[in-house]
A and B are shown apart, each in its own frame.
Chain A
Amino acid sequence: MTRIDVKKTYKLYIGGAFPRSESGRTYEINDSNGEFIANPAQASRKDLRDAVLAARTSLPGWSGATAFNRGQILYRVAEMMESRSGQFIDEICALEGVTKTVAKKQIEESIDTWVWYSGWCDKISAIAGSTNPVSGPFYNFTTPESMGVIGVFAAQKPSLLGLVQALAPVLAGGNTAVVVTSQKFPLPAISLSEVLATSDVPGGVVNILTGKTNELAPWMASHMDVDGLDISGLSKDVETQTRIEGTENLKRIHRFPDGNSPQRILAFMEDKTVWHPVGI
């Protein structure tokens, strides 16, 4: 008799735990051939609310950690992903219908993205900060600081790389994140949450929601305790509405081209300028 596989239940990742949606909803994910794969949770607005709260709660610890420490933790994520790359390759192949080589390239690029941003943590403020030569007896400097809780709408595809390209810079800047995964291809994101949970990323720093992007977008956009949004994965037709809703607390909302750049880190950092007299 052939052994029956033990299949994974794909759940949300909120505050370091793996809850089901409070709504009890799931939705069906099929592979590229239309075969059933899984029933991931379909997150509700209340799950989003809980995720934002978890992100806010974990913010002081994460933003207060030394940049060097954050860099080490992001590097640890890369290590953990590398050791699990087989699992990611299988999921990407099944969902996106790509060859193993293509999937492998995606996971490798994702791992390398973590490594790249890991190294940025303790350099970004040296590159983007400044000492400003003001006229007068004052020492004046500007330094970028973490912005707060950032909502991330990851690219629909490539599902893993798009997510990592959005999430890593948000974390490198010292922010915490609430991620809405690719709607159609959410499984690598859930596996990523398992990686995060077993790396040293504190619970709540990253919160991952699967479900219907356009259902969650307005709640994320209008949430008054979210400071910024990466809408790279949001379709153009809901972008304007999302931006309008985001103005209620003047969220910083950005859409980025593919790829890695220090600008993606800085987009979710705030420049703080400090003045102090120089005297005896």
Chain B
Amino acid sequence: MEWVSDEVKVILFFKVSIYTLDMQLIDGSPQSIKSYLATLSPVDQVGAEARASMLATRSIKTTSKAWAIDCAISMIDLTTLEGSDTDGKVKAICNKAVRPDPTDPTVPHVGAICVYNDMVEVARKHLDSIGGKDIPVAAVSTGFPSGRASREVKKQDTLDALNAGATEIDMVIDRGAFLSGNLEKVFSEIVYIKELCGDRAHLKVILETGELVTLDNVRKASFLAMAAGADFIKTSTGKISPAATPPVVLVMLEAVRDFYAMTGVRIGVKPAGGIRNTKDAIKQLVLVNETAGPEWLTPKLFRIGASALLNDLLMQRMKLRDGHYQGPNYVTLD
């Protein structure tokens, strides 16, 4: 707990104690975390994969497909996280976010824009200037993507984003700490960043499931993040493969469902990475619908971190509207 100021400890205690109706109190100590996680049921990988692939056979056609496409568009965290990002690039995706299909005003805007913290201000200002005031800007934080930085750096990283107008913080967990068993470090870091976010921003906690490897770890990390105050749990940075595979998302959706049953609090889920086409996106929505439940089918509780996906959704949308297949020159490349 050396990371946590006394002030934060009090808040942590308060925050956590609302979750203690049906479970043990987590005071951040190794013992409390251990006993909290010990109550979790294990995950059988083969069974979870079988369930995910069964749900992948759902055939979503006609009106339900149209609905799902618009739903998916509204859930996209339109993302650019490149070393080569520039003001121009960020402005371009902001335009796309507000009006994904310039020829069709019935297309909903996306869920958010997701950028590095130095691009937050550009994005915020541009969105505000083009009618995208209600599109939040999310910033990746805490030494994204590896998380290998000092607490001070992580703090500054987060504060920079907040001060520039980010209303969503996508932090990464310290996977090294998680895998070495230092769960209290992972926990207290989330608590710390959550405290920095305060009322200013929602906190998405990136588990980087590709590095946690096992579904047992995914479930454990999900519960750890939720107990520490995550508003969202997010699969991946997009820099590691595999990323948002259906079994991983399934297990995270089960986790938020179970956490809701325990605490009455609904935590969001954000798969990111590897969701490139409409089919994949609809599979994700089916997973949500039949796992966490239809209550999660809102951008408030489900986001898809993606970039190329949006154009495929738009092409499929045009196909449904016009009755013929689309070509990439009929959607905008940004």
Contact = CB atoms under 8 A, between A and B. Distances in A.
Interface of A: 137-138, 277-280
Interface string B154-196: 0000000000000000000000000000000000000000000
Contacts of B44: 277, 279
Contacts of B45: 277, 279-280
Nearest to A277: B46
B176 to A, nearest CB: 20
Contacts of B23: none
A277 B42 CA distance: 14
A138 B47 CA distance: 11
Contacts of B46: 137-138, 277-279
Contacts of A277: 44-47
Nearest to A279: B45
B11 interface: no
Contact of B214 (A137, A138, A278, A280): A280
B1 interface: no
B247 to A, nearest CB: 10
Contacts of A279: 44-46, 49
15 contacts: A137-B46, A137-B49, A138-B46, A277-B44, A277-B45, A277-B46, A277-B47, A278-B46, A279-B44, A279-B45, A279-B46, A279-B49, A280-B45, A280-B213, A280-B214
B87 to A, nearest CB: 44
B12 to A, nearest CB: 33
Interface string B41-68: 0001111010000000000000000000
A279 B44 CA distance: 7
Contacts of A138: 46
A42 to B, nearest CB: 59
A277 B213 CA distance: 17
A234 to B, nearest CB: 49
B51 to A, nearest CB: 12
Interface in B209-232: 213-214
Nearest to A276: B46
Interface of B: 44-47, 49, 213-214
Contacts of B47: 277
A280 B213 CA distance: 9
Q: Top 10 nearest A-B pairs by Cβ distance?
A: A279-B45, A277-B46, A279-B46, A137-B46, A280-B214, A280-B45, A277-B44, A279-B44, A277-B47, A278-B46
A9 B93 CA distance: 103
B246 to A, nearest CB: 15
Contacts of A278: 46
A137 B49 CA distance: 10
A137 B48 CA distance: 12
Contacts of A137: 46, 49
A137 B45 CA distance: 10
Contacts of B214: 280
Contacts of B213: 280
A137 B213 CA distance: 17
A155 B240 CA distance: 73
A278 B47 CA distance: 10
A181 to B, nearest CB: 53
Nearest to B213: A280
A279 B213 CA distance: 12
Nearest to B43: A279
A184 B325 CA distance: 91
B245 to A, nearest CB: 14
A73 to B, nearest CB: 41
A89 B46 CA distance: 63
A280 B47 CA distance: 11
A163 to B, nearest CB: 50
A250 B247 CA distance: 45
Contacts of A280: 45, 213-214
A11 B49 CA distance: 64
A257 B65 CA distance: 69
A279 B42 CA distance: 12
Given A279-B45, A279-B46, A280-B213, 8 more contacts: A137-B46, A138-B46, A277-B45, A277-B47, A278-B46, A279-B44, A279-B49, A280-B45
A103 B169 CA distance: 94
B214 to A, nearest CB: 5
A213 B210 CA distance: 71
A277 B49 CA distance: 11
A139 to B, nearest CB: 10
A262 B44 CA distance: 39
A243 B138 CA distance: 78
A111 B213 CA distance: 60
A278 B45 CA distance: 8
A279 B47 CA distance: 9
Nearest to B48: A279
Nearest to B216: A280
A280 B214 CA distance: 6
A256 to B, nearest CB: 43
A160 to B, nearest CB: 54
A174 to B, nearest CB: 32
Nearest to A280: B214
Contacts of B49: 137, 279
A138 B45 CA distance: 11
B320 to A, nearest CB: 36
A277 B47 CA distance: 8
B242 to A, nearest CB: 13
A138 B46 CA distance: 9
Nearest to A278: B46
A138 B213 CA distance: 20
